[in-house]
Structure 1
Amino acid sequence: MSSPNIVETANGEQSAQPAVSAASPPSVPQPFSVPESDRYFNRELSWLAFNERVLAEAFNQRYPLLERLRFLSISGSNLDEFMMIRVAGLVGQAQRGIDKPAIDGRSPTQQLTAIREKLASISSRQQDIWLDLNTALAEAGIHIADEKRVEPAAHAWLEAFFRDEILPIITPQALDPAHPFPFVHNEGMGLLFTLTREADREQIIEMILIPSALPRFVRVPGDIAGAGEAVYISIASLIQRYARKLFPGFTIEGDGLFRVLRDSDIEIEEEAEDLVRTFRSAIQRRRRGQVIQLEIEEDFDPKAEEILLEQLGVHEAAVIKTDGMIGIDGLAEIVEEDRPDLKFDAYSPRYPERVREHDGDVFSAIREKDMIVHHPYESFEVVVDFIRQAAVDPDVVAIKQTLYRAGSQSAVINALIEAAENGKSVTAVVELKARFDEEQNLKWATKLERAGVQVIYGFTDWKTHAKISMVVRREDKGFRTYCHFGTGNYHPVTAKIYTDMSFFTADPKLGRDAAKMMNFVTGYVEPAGLERIALAPLNLRERILERIDAEIANAQEGKPAAIWFKCNQITDKGMIDRLYAASDAGVSVELVVRGICCLKPGVPGLSENIRVKSIIGRFLEHSRIYAFANGKPMPSPGALVYIASADLMERNLDRRVETLIPILNRTVHDQVLQQVLLANMLDVEQSWWLHSDGSYARVDQAPEGDSKPFNCHRYFMTNPSLSGRGGALEAGGVPKLSLRKGRAG
């Protein structure tokens, strides 16, 4: 008989449980009655459904006007990245004749056909919402004018601006055999003009590429626009308006705006000898990748369109025509307008009360007991202070840090540099393969190395996605290791809008495991005898499967059995199948999945006991929390709770270095399970139910007996800090959450 597993509960007690093989459930479930081809949603179409939910927030009447515009802009940016990465990958597979089916059985070509049908609908919806928002913005005194709607008072200023700021840096180029077609960079925009030379009536076509250094919009000064009014005009419209100054002696017959998206994925050969040099070269290649999508105006000149298609090598199926705005993502510039009345009320995150009680000494606060910090409701500054204090503390001897995305203005990077300059041993694992942050990460790596930091790039074929910071400090009883484990990146900007967990601990077992993980990444030393942490790609998948199987066994024995997951994506077939098996065994499975979900909930004979919802709101849900009832009614102190850097995707489980951290401290356990996770389960105001046909529908209703819908973001913005004194910090305490609240169908 197998040796029992020793499971440590949140109370610190140990109990023996039967060992369970990760390979199969303890009792083989009945074969699924649903054919395999009907068990899963397509990953790409599920992502598009997610972006439709983002786009729906642009039409949410509860939101201030500029916040709705922000969601419209985000939907555009999301869609661009989807085209540059996911669609580009499918196009490449189709061109190379690769017929590997997706999880739902569709070939790359079939997926592309379905995606393009959906894209047409989403693009049309974006333009409809833009028309509504543009009208509402004008009524609020914010005017986004095209070249035909500029007021006379602004004409002289705009003409001078064009002459002095635009004309010197744009270059018209004729398109004919004597002038080679210019390169159009990724996300590049340009204008084509159809001209007739007045001297001989010959017709020519000219191109003007809009420099990426220019803003998308120009704001007319307030004293010209009028009191309380804001007038914007796009650079493209400005060039169209004054194009006659560029082409004296020509009659302008027509013009049209276009935008190009290229394949932006980076492929690195495993045998690359110099990873840094290879990435620098790959970044350059990305700018010249295959054209994946061409956006043009609806009334684009047919002859000019033909030239574009031929020169860019674009198939007609990749052309998007619109009579609205090209480049919806550019509306982010308008969102920055100084109109607080049209934005969410300003929110200042709280600094953790526990650290304040220790006079700002982060290490003293951690020594007292484990501490959880909930971003963005609590300030990311405490994470920065953790590194800053280590950098200047004479008793700190070493700092080890993973860096996946750190942003362009990183206080964490500066603190690591200061620590190295102060003589500390500093090691930074900088992930070069962080998509679209590769160039920034190369810059940080160079700066860190110059300061004396030991910079490691990790594995060639695995991304290091784990979020760990270790500080080794010399104390009276020897060296003590302090750790920070996060569900999100060390990025000061995203930490203000992403909901994530920061877990601080001085637990020696977690410290030893963290050190082994770092040695694994820096020296390929595979960790042996991990005491608490599970690591991908080594045993994280197996740890979660073991816990699912234990819930199946509990259900079969008539014990309470439940699984609560909160993550960003679920696409891994093995995980989905095991959750189906749990449902079949009678386990109650509640999933909060913000984005892609390939699992089909509520299907008879497959997933009757699984419910899935997505939360979309002011903040981007990003934390990963995995909880298991462990034979007790959920939620309870006896449940097993983990936080992680990993979503349930094959890439996270098999091709990335990720961490799964057990939460054993009783106070922290209750905060994560009975506040954070439970609040997500209860939310109805920002939640969407996923139905078995793949559609999503807003919950948007308060359960019977409740005066108003529960909003988890509002709950955390208006209630005390999680990392406080272990009790209420304000009169009246924290409103107690009840599971009854969220049981809407």
Structure 2
Amino acid sequence: MTTPNDNLLNRELGLIEFNRRVMAQAEEERLPLLERLKFLCIVSSNLDEFYEVRVAWLKEAAQLTPNRILADGSTPGEVLARLSLAAHDLVREQYRLLREDILPSLRKENIVFLRRNEWDICHRDWVRDYFFRELMPILTPIGLDPSHPFPRLLNKSLNFIVELEGTDAFGRESGIAIVQAPRILPRVIKLPAEICGGNPDTFVFLSSILHSHVHELFPGMAVKGCYQFRVTRDSELNVEDEDVKNLRTALQGELRQRQFGDAVRLEIADTCPQHVEDFLTGTLNLSKEDVFRVDGPVNLVRLMQVPDKVDRPELKFAPFQPTLPKPLADKVPLFDAIRQEDLLLHHPFQSFQPVIDLLNEAATDPDVLAIKMTVYRTGTDSVLMDSLIAAARAGKEVTVVVELMARFDEEANISWANRLEDAGAHVVFGVFGYKVHAKMLLLVRREEGRLKRYVHLGTGNYHPRTARLYTDFGLLTANEEIASDVNDLFVQITGLGHAGELKHLYQSPFTLNNMLMSAIDREIQHAQEGRPAHIIAKMNALLEPQVISALYRASQAGVKIQLIIRGVCALRPGVEGLSENITVRSIVGRFLEHTRVFYFLNDKAENLFIASADWMGRNLFRRIETCVPILDPKLKRRVIKEGLKIYLEDNANTWEMQPDGSYRRRVARGKGRCAQEILLQEYTG
């Protein structure tokens, strides 16, 4: 056994704690019922990625470097053992919540999921017709024998293992077959209202249909049992530096194998006999700790389809219409408005449309000569990418930095890169070994015989859909010094040479970490001199040991530190003699908190930044990131109020972190204050 580092918490266990907070939203009766179902599905989606990436990495580390000491002092094997207990407990609670609360509550609202024992003759006839018409033609049962080895099952696909008795037409007596449900099939099927007493919201699971008719796939054989299961695989892509001549080509080769990585988790029906489980774990090289027996569908993520199939607005969050900054609402032309003053966009409360419009106008404006943009995640269908393509076809100088290694968006980004190149754009893939995570857009426009630059810098991706789901800040500015910094960053990424000194921006991997350390040290000095010292930071994750150590030193010096960290935090707050001046809170609500805002009192100068980076090693040292000062006093007051103070006053969606890494929900005393609702009311009415 190793000795834990008492000053740092484990990253993976912190991610499990975060998912407990997400699941608490599914338990929250004050939330609309279909939104509670979504939160339950989000937990499953998060756990999928957790196993595909973090657990897969731990398993590999446990095998290759079992004595490796992680940041919290544990070995990979020790973390895996603790994770197994925590994850199994979380999943058991998740399915209990589904069975005992969510599904019964939906049934009370006439949103019904019919079990097989509830089908009447009309249901059975419809299901039988559906099976033969929609399923039977595309299913491929595979009986296991020397000519038919265990199939290569796709990552996270729905499968059935079938026990059989009898002899087939060729005299084979194999007792096991595998049926894989094609991904094109819906996992939840809506029944016609006319066979459900007029109820338009009656569903059956695909698994129920297959269970009821699986015998049709094995004529003349007796089905002893049929059990659904799902395998999660290692989905990290490995592109070795020394072997790569063309990153796009290398990545395309890796993507073809992603669906067939090493198995890391098996989800299986709780009715599955032990000998069948043993067969699967032996075949997949998994241990008992990797098995999750579930009483319900093995893939809850697919239940995310249900709210879209149900027309019940009262069971969903009320829709809202994001607003525009006043100059744009007053129809001031976009370039004129940005030239006159910096504009701050606070998504999703304010619209992402100005960014879309800016790129649209740039594509068609004859005075716009050049466009430069970074792309990390933008989706498979993006109006922004369409505008870049249109601009390139119009003959403008278009340069797009496409991050091919954006996890799970690699295929979409490769596709966009190909289309952009076909249109004549310059496409580069960043700096090999450093992900380009910065969010930058630069436009060069000829005005009155001179070149004028316009910039957008943000904390979130150029993704119109997530701009309605994630909280983020975006700055639109024509500040020439900031524009010069952004241009220098693009030149640095696309060309070769040393990093020059920037006037306002800080960047990873060169200056951002040093700036943060210096800012923290300055607050320490002020506290030691008896002056007020205060740090407030809002981000998605805090893991970097150097930063955490500096924050501990600041706390010991008397600096007041308030951290708003949505996800995982390795820092222990409130430990006497170490961090008693540090508080950590997590906000989990309707929108995913994604803003990164850093505030340093600095003897009342109030240095304020928005950034694309969290305080993690990858963001500070292994990615290209930007950190942008908010220079306009009016906008600075807005960011402090909307991005920090309102969240520090939240008592509806706030979880307060305890020294041991657990979280307690903040209890409202008096009037409840929900930061997200306050901002919705303020901006959307």
TM-score (ref. length: structure 1): 0.89
Identify which of 142, 146, 158 aligns with 2:127.
158
Structure 1 match to 2:103: 134
| Amino acid paired to 1:168 | P
Moved more, 654-663 or 349-358: 349-358
Q: Kindly indicate whether the alpha-carbon contact (under 8 Å) linking 1:41 and 1:600 is maintained by their aligned counterparts in 2.
A: yes
Gaps in structure 1 of 5+ consecutive residues: 1-34, 633-637, 722-729, 731-745
Moved more, 460-469 or 178-187: 178-187
**Is 2:227 the counterpart of 1:256?**
yes
Aligned positions of 1:235-634 closer than 5 A? 235-271=206-242, 272-336=244-308, 337-359=310-332, 361-476=333-448, 478-632=450-604
Please state whether the residue corresponding to 2:218 is helix, strand or coil: coil
| Amino acid paired to 1:569 | A
Structure 1 match to 2:148: 179
**Is 2:22 the counterpart of 1:54?**
yes
C-alpha RMSD of the superposition: 1.6
Please state whether the residue corresponding to 2:69 is helix, strand or coil: coil
Moved more, 315-324 or 517-526: 315-324
User: What is the Cα deviation at residue 206 of structure 1?
Assistant: 1.6
Identify which of 692, 696, 701 aligns with 2:668.
701
CA distance in 1, matches of 2:71, 2:150: 41
Please state whether the residue corresponding to 1:516 is helix, strand or coil: helix
Corresponding pairs, count: 678
User: What is the Cα deviation at residue 201 of structure 1?
Assistant: 12
**Is 2:185 the counterpart of 1:214?**
yes
Moved more, 157-166 or 228-237: 228-237
Q: Kindly indicate whether the alpha-carbon contact (under 8 Å) linking 2:62 and 2:77 is maintained by their aligned counterparts in 1.
A: yes
CA distance in 2, matches of 1:46, 1:36: 15
Structure 1 match to 2:138: 169
CA distance in 2, matches of 1:710, 1:477: 52
CA distance in 1, matches of 2:532, 2:610: 22
| Amino acid paired to 1:110 | E
Deviations 1:428-471 (A, max 9, x none): 00000100000110001001110111000011111000000000
User: What is the Cα deviation at residue 342 of structure 1?
Assistant: 0.8
User: What is the Cα deviation at residue 179 of structure 1?
Assistant: 1.4
User: What is the Cα deviation at residue 202 of structure 1?
Assistant: 5.4
User: What is the Cα deviation at residue 103 of structure 1?
Assistant: 1.5
Structure 2 match to 1:231: 202
Q: Kindly indicate whether the alpha-carbon contact (under 8 Å) linking 2:613 and 2:627 is maintained by their aligned counterparts in 1.
A: yes
Q: Kindly indicate whether the alpha-carbon contact (under 8 Å) linking 2:363 and 2:390 is maintained by their aligned counterparts in 1.
A: yes
Moved more, 193-202 or 171-180: 193-202
| Amino acid paired to 2:271 | D
| Amino acid paired to 1:351 | L
CA distance in 2, matches of 1:594, 1:155: 47
Please state whether the residue corresponding to 2:124 is helix, strand or coil: helix
Greater RCO, CA 8 A, separation 6+: 1
Q: Kindly indicate whether the alpha-carbon contact (under 8 Å) linking 2:34 and 2:307 is maintained by their aligned counterparts in 1.
A: yes
Structure 2 match to 1:145: 114
CA distance in 2, matches of 1:648, 1:376: 23
CA distance in 2, matches of 1:223, 1:413: 44
Moved more, 201-210 or 186-195: 201-210
**Is 2:96 the counterpart of 1:123?**
no
Deviations 1:683-729 (A, max 9, x none): 11000000112110111303xxx5x21111111111147xxxxxxxx
Gaps in structure 2 of 5+ consecutive residues: none
User: What is the Cα deviation at residue 325 of structure 1?
Assistant: 2.8
Identify which of 599, 614, 632 aligns with 1:665.
632
Q: Kindly indicate whether the alpha-carbon contact (under 8 Å) linking 1:400 and 1:426 is maintained by their aligned counterparts in 2.
A: yes
- Identical aligned residues as a percent: 38
| Amino acid paired to 1:127 | Y
User: What is the Cα deviation at residue 270 of structure 1?
Assistant: 1.3
CA gap 1:253/1:549 in 2 versus in 1, 3 angstroms: same
Please state whether the residue corresponding to 2:241 is helix, strand or coil: coil
**Is 2:76 the counterpart of 1:108?**
yes
CA gap 1:407/1:456 in 2 versus in 1, 3 angstroms: same
CA distance in 1, matches of 2:122, 2:326: 54
Q: Kindly indicate whether the alpha-carbon contact (under 8 Å) linking 1:127 and 1:325 is maintained by their aligned counterparts in 2.
A: no
CA distance in 2, matches of 1:143, 1:372: 45
CA distance in 2, matches of 1:287, 1:120: 24
Q: Kindly indicate whether the alpha-carbon contact (under 8 Å) linking 1:375 and 1:499 is maintained by their aligned counterparts in 2.
A: yes
Please state whether the residue corresponding to 2:118 is helix, strand or coil: coil
Moved more, 672-681 or 118-127: 672-681
**Is 2:680 the counterpart of 1:711?**
no
User: What is the Cα deviation at residue 356 of structure 1?
Assistant: 2.5
CA distance in 1, matches of 2:543, 2:235: 22
| Amino acid paired to 1:644 | A
Q: Kindly indicate whether the alpha-carbon contact (under 8 Å) linking 1:254 and 1:301 is maintained by their aligned counterparts in 2.
A: no
| Amino acid paired to 1:520 | Q
CA distance in 2, matches of 1:511, 1:56: 43
User: What is the Cα deviation at residue 70 of structure 1?
Assistant: 0.3
Deviations 1:453-498 (A, max 9, x none): 1000011111000000000111126111100001000011111100
Deviations 1:580-601 (A, max 9, x none): 1110110000000000000000
User: What is the Cα deviation at residue 203 of structure 1?
Assistant: 6.4
Q: Kindly indicate whether the alpha-carbon contact (under 8 Å) linking 2:349 and 2:683 is maintained by their aligned counterparts in 1.
A: no
| Amino acid paired to 2:622 | R
User: What is the Cα deviation at residue 36 of structure 1?
Assistant: 7.8
Identify which of 597, 615, 636 aligns with 1:648.
615
| Amino acid paired to 2:189 | V
